[in-house]
Structure 1
């Protein structure tokens, strides 16, 4: 492990095997909990379990034993994504139980069970019970077998669940369920768009931040237009007007992250009321080979981001806790060009004062802004075959870049836009800045993970 130059310093990643969607994000009994989709013995995604980390401060983490295994009749082919509800001195974890019935099926319209399972734990570490609470027969008749990823919350004395769905007409939508006891659920509404927004809406989330309700989801099969939909699948949000339980209107769709690697984000409320989101730094069905598979692991989580509603946009900023990792601060002024020595784990902040800006990270990455367009460009080797993403951005006032051993997260204008990507450089890398403004470069301490009990 110590000889693996791509292992991350301050991003959650698997000790071995495959990692994808964050699940069950919550704060419970003094700890932040991050459950996640995990295939511990197969870096290319085998049987899916639930892995588990906890932390008291989002910086120092402890790995726990696998929380859920695909062993029951309702989840035998995988314990898929879900969420957490902390209440009554217990943690209620709702998840999708995947079943593929034997036979000649397409597993889209026939032959698949997508059940909602409920695991309950009092200590937050091992489940005390597990049961199936919803099956395909409990969903509307016009749906395919693809109904998954329950997100559950409490509001106005009742419980609500949103599920991602694919209709038999191949339209993505969200199902709203209501309950008075957390076990028995009634379907009450559907969230959808009139125009075509893909055939499946995965990993849904509905929440309120700064007085604005948000519908977040990951559409599959959405047609790209302009700078939206550059990846094989999208993930983003709609501002919601009205009531998700009744009459509503969805606003314009925005992508949550415009980089190569960000999908299935999930939010939760911190003890101080902050709305925090974590996403998977990966992409389903991406057509590239991740070099880390040579060392028997693949993928990681994004940095935790604090969300705010400002200027009719959802702003995403790195959580304040990350500032505790900073050391060896280097302030600089750039009048035209400046070269900086970057360590393996770095944070770069630049207050832009020019009409154009270019930042080169080593030989393989270039982030530029000119003529109202931001571009993230990687060479073939550094990007493992991925080359370019862009954003239409009329003005650029500030850029903040987090560089880890094999990832870059770029925040523009205090989180108005974000680009996240995995990259595979030679370390350490030099940073070249071409532009005008003031900046600071920090070396970052790696976070600590306790791998064994």
Structure 2
């Protein structure tokens, strides 16, 4: 009897332990993912589902899969428009289902995009369920039923540049969206979808793609995706927090663009300033503040077209080596939801920078303020009373109204905004003038200045104005928008600010460049007091090529402006000397028309030449030359016609590259010596003539060895008094996001 009681007591102790052990083992078994993608690095353009060993192709415009640091080991970098994974599942999925994935975003998507989708591929591919995010960072549950799409958005905003966990728990009655283990959205599930068997999935894009102009994909993720897991059971939030999330939220996300993306792109500049990838447009707000230069730019970090515009940010100690930071301003629902457009940065009365930018929605465009939170100008906050100017004055009908520029005259702040007026049925560019005592409350005065396009050919609308004081004179520079087949160009007048109006010294504007492919200069004083300008240089190529390249547009080298005889004299900024590497020198070399002088080859080159024309009336440089493939760009100085001619008829064997000849007027007569200073950097060429005139062009040769540089002449002979030929180093621009 005693033995039996002892055995019974022992069994009572053991039984609970056995039950707990059985439950634990059962729970562990049930909670093993049915599918799991860890995105471990490999050299082929694919990834492996670990449980079934199924290979899934990685679709991308780039040859090398971008495996980067993930939440565990490596993750896969998605570019925002071309990278995605799709494929069939080894075994169909039935409800209930739990799907979990780790994500770190560089940007919000162009349109509502999915982290993942599960699809009823076999019978009706228009039935699907997705975990998504919109362009303002709001997470969503997206459901497709027989082709009808529905999006359910949470009142929650995800963060960029940080890791977060996204999870969908799908039962027969509802769908739950969890962020970092917290349930933020629950919706009922339609009976059709609840009975669906899911056969395939997509990762990094929507189940159903959307395009802009049938070209640019809109519904892709730009960031890192890692550890996607699917269970055929409904897990609870406690399990996810304990087993899937833990302390991983504290891990730093490195969203720098992998170096492999543009490794073999010889046309991508290496010492010019440009973003790490994707679209950029005008620069604005060049300033020197607390020992650093800062410049801002229009940036679509997600795609390759003008849209989803943020204010990008770069800083530099020397105007040569730049670090790109995360965007300082991003569109939000409300007054600036259609984009953070161009503007200006000035130091206020306390010496602290502020941003004035153009923001708008479908109803109204206005001028908006933002203020920095730190001395490095990394984080900014928008003014609570934005917009500070709500649309153009009521007496004007045109809604388009943009690009503020601010300066101070004595104790009064002034602001001009780009505009276009109609007077006597004539459209003309104009700048609307405002004044303020505190930079927050603005009063409209009148147009600062208006064009007269019938005589000065200054166009119908002016963008990106600059009003810069030098030598007690004001330079007023504007960009007339493209019109009547004429491209955008930068024009300027020199004059005075009298009775709150601009009075020019000359009626007709001057061109900023001989051949004007550079636009919208940002102007500031450098640390030594030199007037310094950096501007946008467009690509001048088709959108199809821009999408293929994965980057669009760049910024000029810094230039020094001097005002002489009411003209802007432009020269390269002296800081660029730091880029010089190996040097080849030519002195007192006679060249005749029978043979060209071969200078050397390279994609990053600086040439400084002093040339005496002697008996020649036309000479110049071949750049991007290739003897075998017959690619070459011909840059000619015609002394008889006083012209600079850039002949790109044979500059590229790429079919989509326009074959064009550009001609600019320049005074070269009676010059005993002509000084020519060239900067070549991949696809961009910038030139300076006689320490005064400047020009810019773009070339995109097809072949990497199209990089020879020669001097030619069509008649007579010339004397190369001195020519320095430098190979230049990369500026090694960085990113810190």
Please, what TM-score do these two structures have when normalized by structure 1?
0.90
1:430 to 708, 711, 724: 708
Which residue in 1 is equivalent to 2:687?
410
Which residue in 2 is equivalent to 1:271?
527
**1:24-72 CA deviation, whole Å, 9 max, x = no partner?**
2111222111110011111123311111110011112111111111114
Which residue in 2 is equivalent to 1:375?
645
Gap regions ≥5 residues in structure 2: 1-261, 626-630, 713-717
What CA distance in whole angstroms lies between the structure 2 residues aligned with 1:262 and 1:322?
19
Q: State whether residues 189 and 244 of structure 1, in contact with CA within 8 Å, keep that contact through their aligned partners in structure 2.
A: no
Q: State whether residues 462 and 479 of structure 2, in contact with CA within 8 Å, keep that contact through their aligned partners in structure 1.
A: yes
Which residue in 1 is equivalent to 2:491?
236
1:420 to 682, 696, 704: 696
What CA distance in whole angstroms lies between the structure 2 residues aligned with 1:187 and 1:180?
13
Which residue in 1 is equivalent to 2:510?
254
**1:131-150 CA deviation, whole Å, 9 max, x = no partner?**
310011x5251241111100
Q: Which moves more between the two structures, 84-93 or 305-314?
A: 84-93
1:154 to 404, 408, 424: 408
Q: CA deviation at 1:85?
A: 1.0
**1:218 paired to 2:491:** no
What secondary structure sits across from 1:273 in the alignment? Answer: coil
Which residue in 1 is equivalent to 2:459?
198
Q: CA deviation at 1:447?
A: 0.4
CA pair 27-350 structure 1, distance change in 2 beyond 3 A: same
**1:163 paired to 2:440:** no
Q: CA deviation at 1:317?
A: 1.1
What CA distance in whole angstroms lies between the structure 2 residues aligned with 1:193 and 1:27?
32
- Mapping of residues 8-407 of structure 1, within 5 Å: 8-87=269-348, 88-101=350-363, 113-123=364-374, 124-130=377-383, 131-136=386-391, 139=393, 141-168=395-422, 170-190=427-447, 191-196=449-454, 197-221=458-482, 232-243=487-498, 245-246=500-501, 248-249=503-504, 251=506, 252-259=508-515, 261-282=517-538, 288-289=542-543, 291-333=545-587, 334-336=589-591, 337-354=596-613, 355=616, 356-361=618-623, 362=625, 363-370=631-638, 371=640, 372-379=642-649, 382=652, 384-395=657-668, 397-407=674-684
Gap regions ≥5 residues in structure 1: 102-112, 225-230
Q: State whether residues 453 and 459 of structure 2, in contact with CA within 8 Å, keep that contact through their aligned partners in structure 1.
A: no
What secondary structure sits across from 1:100 in the alignment? Answer: coil
Which residue in 1 is equivalent to 2:725?
441
Please, what TM-score do these two structures have when normalized by structure 2?
0.56
What secondary structure sits across from 1:67 in the alignment? Answer: strand
CA pair 157-242 structure 1, distance change in 2 beyond 3 A: closer
CA pair 380-177 structure 1, distance change in 2 beyond 3 A: farther
Which residue in 1 is equivalent to 2:736?
452
Structure with higher RCO (Cα < 8 A, 6+ apart)? 1
Aligned-residue RMSD, C-alpha? 2.2
**1:123-177 CA deviation, whole Å, 9 max, x = no partner?**
21111333310011x5251241111100112221221111110124532101121
What secondary structure sits across from 1:145 in the alignment? Answer: coil
CA pair 75-258 structure 1, distance change in 2 beyond 3 A: farther
What CA distance in whole angstroms lies between the structure 2 residues aligned with 1:444 and 1:32?
22
Q: Which has the larger radius of gyration?
A: 2
Q: State whether residues 605 and 681 of structure 2, in contact with CA within 8 Å, keep that contact through their aligned partners in structure 1.
A: yes
Q: CA deviation at 1:257?
A: 2.2
What secondary structure sits across from 2:327 in the alignment? Answer: coil
**1:326-368 CA deviation, whole Å, 9 max, x = no partner?**
1211111431141111222100111120043221111321111
CA pair 51-374 structure 1, distance change in 2 beyond 3 A: same
What secondary structure sits across from 1:323 in the alignment? Answer: helix
**1:210-251 CA deviation, whole Å, 9 max, x = no partner?**
333110000125679xxxxxx512212111245271362352
Q: CA deviation at 1:373?
A: 1.4
CA pair 97-360 structure 1, distance change in 2 beyond 3 A: same
Q: CA deviation at 1:268?
A: 1.5
Q: State whether residues 404 and 418 of structure 2, in contact with CA within 8 Å, keep that contact through their aligned partners in structure 1.
A: yes
Report which of the two has the higher share of helix.
Answer: 2
